[in-house]
Amino acid sequence: MRFAYSVKQKVKIAGLLFCIMACTLLIRFLEDKSVKDMNESFVSMFNDRLIPATDLFSVAELAYRKQSKLEAVLYGRGQSFNAQALKWELNKLNSSIDSLINQYGSTFLVKQEKMQLNELKKSLAASIEVEDKILTIAARQGIPEARELYINEGMATSAKTLAKLSELMRIQRQIGEELIKDSAFMVSGNKLYSTFQVALAILIGALIVGIVFTSNVVRINNEKYNLN
């Protein structure tokens, strides 16, 4: 009878220990997955948010430089007009912008970003078209006529381009904030897993103490039984 009771208790303890082992393995798996997700989140924040954000800033800077060069000629800021030289400078800036835009488009983009990027490309193409018209009119008809075209069309296309860039930067900031929140959630999850592990360690320790105590009681009872 005592043997059967002892076996039954050992089976219960073995079953409990197996459950604890399974929970420990599960927690370990969840921790590894959480660390992996956190690492991917940080990598994405750097490759898909931080670097593209600097690219967008560079595009905005180049767009301002184009605008400044045009206005310097159209509004006579001490520069003589040379259509070929100005065209070469604008083409160089446009090539740099295209390179940055292509680099930005190769990163991970959400649906909003894809839509805004397409709109930005259309706006940039419209700006280049207006620039070509302004240079042609300036060379053939004179600066005053080119200035009028710039006021009527060029300023509007430039403003639209900068507005699209600002919107993309806003989306970048929004997605970056969401990634930070996700990372904070993962960190809190890891803290919870660590708490579970500590609780399981305490439970295992209590079980070991209980097993030792039970073994001592059984041994003492057996000794008393044998003496009787």
pLDDT tens-digit series, residues 95-140: 999 999 998 888 888 888 888 889 899 989 999 999 889 888 888 8
- Separation of alpha carbons 186 and 37, rounded Å: 8
Long-range contacts of 165-171 (CB under 8 A, 24+ apart): 165/56, 165/59, 165/60, 165/63, 165/120, 167/116, 168/56, 168/113, 168/116, 168/117, 168/120, 169/53, 169/56, 169/57, 171/110, 171/112, 171/113, 171/116
pTM of structure:
0.65
- pLDDT, the chain, mean: 76
pLDDT tens-digit series, residues 169-190: 888 878 777 777 766 666 666 6
pLDDT of residue 22 exceeding 70: yes
pLDDT of residue 225 exceeding 50: no
Question: From 1.10.760, 1.20.1330, 2.60.120, 3.40.50, which CATH number describes the 2-227 domain?
Answer: 1.20.1330
Alpha-helical runs (H) found in 75-154: 83-105, 111-140, 143-149
